Structure formats: structure tokens, C-alpha cells
Amino acid sequence: MTLWTSAEIAAATRGFASADFTVDGVAFDSREVGDRDLFVALTGEHTDGHRFLDQAFGQGAGGAIVSTPSSHPNVQVGDTFAALEDLARAARARTAAKVIGVTGSVGKTSTKEALYAALARAPGVCAHRSVKSYNNHTGVPLSLARMPADTQFAVLEMGMNHPGELAHLTTLVRPHVALVTAIAPAHTEFFPDESAIADAKGEIFRGLEPGGTAIIPYDSPHRDRLIDAAKPYAGRIVTFGLDRAADVSAADSMALRAGGSFVSARIGLRDLSFTVAQPGQHWVSNALAVLAVVDAVGADLALAGLALAELGGLPGRGARVSVPVAEGEAVLIDESYNANPASMRATLAVLAKEPGRHVAVLGEMRELGEGSDEFHAGLADDVIGARVEMAVLVGKAMTPLAEALEGRVEFVHVPDVAQALDRARAAIRPGDAVLVKGSNGVGLSRLVSGLAGGKS
């Protein structure tokens, strides 16, 4: 079904259409343009999308948004980024969907994917979500612009690394339900303390639709701060967490031998027992957040439980990859997309419960500011608790952890992914469980590909 016509794009962006055309998708990265996509030629500090118009149309683009004349079918505007936001506003204005905004220091993308699976599970339901981790000032409007008009549920992820960013993004998304997954040290380079991070995440509530629902982690030390942030904007505040005092809580949870957890949850006065396919207590918390949202939008809780039982790991966020080694194979837990102290501890706790010998390839955690050395060194007990027999530490910022592990765990400390790959290949044995985790900028996804047999 057609997503946008040239006339609709021109009306939304106050632009001029050079020709009649229709598009089925939207992209601003020319490498991702497919058949009948709208290519938005964004102009940035380092590149100009107008240089890639021929490439985009060579790949099948149906039209473009441009700010300079072009021979390709287009809508010409004064500012292509402002036009992308205008198209996002138009997409939001034309839908009758229940819109869910998701933010948090950890668990945003995983919870967003789980929510989408839970809401899309019902037959005939049209659900929409942010793709990948498109959660910033360009990713959020892109995700909105891609939303079909007949969407019934939309799950939009929103991220930030500076105060004020979410305050703007939430005005585009205008959620009926706003979820904060957790507050943890992340991007601390840009914030004086964790309370300031909580305040920045709490900005999501400012965009709530009248009568909307704020969903808040009960177990967070910043719970009351988030509740205070939500009160002026939310018609209803719901808490979730492992503590039984939460509105949506785990009455009981049990780790399963095959991985994952069996959870007995209490949602208000109702009980629901289900399995979470992904291992770790952090996933039990994520699942409770999913149930809180599903209940808030009036969707089917039983189907949500089935979806959680079937949910696979995402590349870079818990996917399990077979690694061929001499005379057998090892299992790699791919957490290469990102890392902060809280998510490092959570995934090391998952590794601790894996059978076999444990190997950890840990990349440095970035954007931690003056506390970086302390945060890195503070992981030593978690590495030891995970029964790691061999650690490969990647990046200069890992020096404090290397010093804290000296004489306690066998490790190597290398400067980059290329050397880490060689050391990891030499270390891994058949039957090993291998955790790979670090900040995205370290590039550990290349190591995962290399270990799995792809290009490094």
C-alpha cells in the first residue's frame, strides 16, 4: 500500500512537487534505499545527501526530498531536515494508532522489539516500530515518517545523550504511553550525576497525550524522581518491577535450565504465568515492562506472554552465534552493540549461568566522563563472579579493569578489534561460552563476524 504521494509530501513539508509520484518507504541513507522509497537528501557537517541522488534512484527510489533543483522526481523544500520532521508530524497526525514511546539507559531496543512482537502477535493487527536503533534526532522522525496510516500500534524508541533532546523528540512522537525501562550510568560524560540522567529521561513524559500513561521502573532508586516528572503530564502512573509492591510485579521467577526464566506476574489484580526466552533477571524486568504497556493499551496479555516465550536474541543484543573451533564449536553471546556499567553487569551475570568454560571479550565503555576509570575497575568482581577463565580486554579505557584483574583472572589487554580477534580465536575451545560486549564505537561486531566465520 502506498505510504505517501508527492502531493501529501508537498502539503506536509510546504514544498513544491516536481512531478506526481508515490512511495512505499522512507530513507535518508542512500545505501538503504530500496524500490519505491522516498530518499531524504539530508545535509550534514561531513556529507550532503544531494551527492547521492543518482545512487538512490539507481537503487529504485520513487522520489526525493531536496533543497536544490534536481532532475529526479522530487519535492523541493528550504531545509530537508525540517521537512523530515514535518513529514513525521504529518504521519503522527493522520494515524489513529496507540503510540508508545520507549526510553531508558538500558534495555530500550530489546524492550521495543519485545513490545512490537507482543502487539503484532494478534491476527490482523498492523503494528509499527522503530527499526534498528533509530532513536535520535534523525532516527525518530524517520521512524514516524515510515509509519503507515492504518497502523494500530506504534512503538517508538527515543534516546538521548544531552539534556533537552527527549523534550523535543517526545513532542514529535506524542505517546499515549511513555515507558522508562531503567536508569543507569550512561553518557555520564554529559551529566553531573545519575539523577540528572533520570531528569533527562523523564522528559519523555512531557509529550504524553492527554490522559496518557507513564510507566516507571519501581526498583529504580530514581523511581520517585521519575514519578514527580510524570505527574504534571500523565493521567495514570504505573510501576513495574521485581518488587511485589510494583503495580506490575514478579510474584515469582525461576531461571530455566535451557535458558530464560519462568515468571509468575501480577498485573493489578490479575495473574499471568509465562516464559521469557531470553536469560537474565534484566529480561524478567523487561518482560514486566512489556506487560505493563500491553495492559495500558488494552492489548492481549496472553498473546504477549506467548510472544515473550518465542522472542529470539537480536544481533548485538543477546543473539547466540555458533563459533566453529577445532573439533567442535563454542557458543557466542553477541552483546556487541553497546555497553555501560549496568548492562555489563547484567550480561556478565548471564554468562555466569552458562555451562562450560567462560571467555569474555570486553570492549571499553565510552562517554563515562571523569568516572570512567572507576566504572571500568568496578567490573572486576563481576568478571570473577561470572567465572571467566580468559578475558580479552579491548581499548585504552580498559586499563583500570586490567589492573584490577591482575593476578585474579587470566587476561590479555589489546588496543583494537584486530588484535582482539586474533587473541579470542586462540583462546576459544570447543564447548566454551563466549561473551562479547562493549560500546558500539569499539567495533566488536566485526569480531563477532570474524569468529562466526564471516569477514573481520
Distance in angstroms (rounded) separating the CA atoms of residues 279 and 427: 25
Confirm whether residue 105 is marked as ligand binding: yes
Confirm whether residue 108 is marked as ligand binding: yes
Helix (H, G, I), strand (E, B), or coil: what is residue 29? Answer: coil
Q: What is the 3-state secondary structure of 147-200?
A: CCCCCCEEEEECCCCCCCHHHHHHHHHCCCEEEECCCCCCCHHHCCCHHHHHHH
Pick the closest to residue 273 from 300, 301, 295, 296 (CA basis): 301
Residue 302: all three cell numbers together: 496472553
Residue 290: all three cell numbers together: 512489556
Largest separation between any pair of C-alpha atoms in the chain: 70
C-beta of residue 40 within 8 angstroms of C-beta of residue 64: yes
Distance in angstroms (rounded) separating the CA atoms of residues 340 and 186: 6
C-beta of residue 350 within 8 angstroms of C-beta of residue 173: no
C-beta of residue 357 within 8 angstroms of C-beta of residue 409: no
Distance in angstroms (rounded) separating the CA atoms of residues 106 and 437: 14
Confirm whether residue 372 is marked as ligand binding: no
Distance in angstroms (rounded) separating the CA atoms of residues 113 and 108: 9
Confirm whether residue 109 is marked as ligand binding: yes
Residue 417: all three cell numbers together: 578489534
Mutual orientation of helices 80-94 and 6-13 as an angle, nearest 10°? 110
For the chain, what is the radius of gyration of the CA atoms? Answer: 23
Backbone region of residue 29 per phi and psi (left: phi > 0; alpha: psi in -120 to 50; beta: other values): beta
Confirm whether residue 396 is marked as ligand binding: no
Give how far Cα 265 sits from Cα of 49, 269, 301, 307, Å.
49, 10, 11, 15
The binding site comprises 104-110
The binding site for ATP comprises 104-110
